[in-house]
Homo-oligomer: A and B are copies of this chain.
Amino acid sequence: MKLLEDFFVGQQFVLALYTVDEQAIIDFATAFDPQPFHTLSDHPRTHALGGLMASGWHTTAIFMRLAVDAYMSDAAIFTSPGVDNVRWLAPVRAGDTVEGCVTITSARASASKPDRGIVQADARLWNQDAVAVLSLSTTAFIATREGFKEAFWSGSY
């Protein structure tokens, strides 16, 4: 498991390719973002916007899946307090294949809790034409070497 001590500024994690199909765009948006340009490929507003586009929240969810697969699933993450500067830079369309990169911008011990540290990163997704579609800044609490022993298996947090 990756602990705080395994992260450093400038470290990069490459995110895998992810192809977004039309039905997935429609299903996600039907549940969570039922605006016509996300759910109806033949609506005037959809045509006006150049075609069906994924909900921005679908794009951020895809980013999360790629980040979990790339490095988070084997990092000793407590939780995340939030994210900042989420920018939907260009539409994600049906059939697009996105990929991306996460760059660590800060990795430091917590001043108040010795069992954990704070890891921040800038993330970016782009499409098959190298057009950036998403950027955001993430923050996660990750166990220190000291904290890992106590926290992750003892139920103390």
Which residues of A does B touch, CB under 8 Å?
28, 31-35, 44-45, 47-49, 55-57, 60-62, 64-65, 68, 72-73, 77, 79-88, 151-157
Q: Are B81 and A87 in contact (CB under 8 A)?
A: yes
Q: Are A152 and B62 in contact (CB under 8 A)?
A: no
Can you list 25 A-B contacts (CB < 8 A)? A28-B61, A32-B61, A32-B64, A33-B64, A33-B65, A33-B68, A34-B65, A35-B72, A35-B73, A35-B77, A44-B155, A48-B151, A48-B153, A49-B79, A55-B64, A57-B57, A57-B60, A57-B61, A61-B61, A80-B88, A81-B87, A82-B87, A82-B88, A84-B85, A86-B86
Q: Are B77 and A88 in contact (CB under 8 A)?
A: no
Q: Are B86 and A47 in contact (CB under 8 A)?
A: no
C-alpha gap A77/B33 in the complex (Å): 13
C-alpha gap A32/B55 in the complex (Å): 14
> How far does the Cβ of A2 sit from chain B's closest Cβ, in whole Å?
13
C-alpha gap A73/B29 in the complex (Å): 13
Q: Are A84 and B81 in contact (CB under 8 A)?
A: no
C-alpha gap A71/B153 in the complex (Å): 45
C-alpha gap A64/B61 in the complex (Å): 13
Knowing A45-B152, A61-B57, A61-B61, say if A85 contacts B82 (CB, 8 Å).
Answer: yes
Knowing A56-B80, A80-B56, A152-B45, say if A61 contacts B33 (CB, 8 Å).
Answer: yes
Inter-chain pairs besides A31-B61, A48-B152, A82-B85, 17 sampled, C-beta below 8 Å: A28-B61, A32-B61, A32-B64, A33-B61, A34-B68, A35-B73, A35-B77, A45-B152, A48-B151, A48-B153, A48-B155, A48-B157, A55-B64, A56-B82, A81-B87, A82-B86, A84-B85
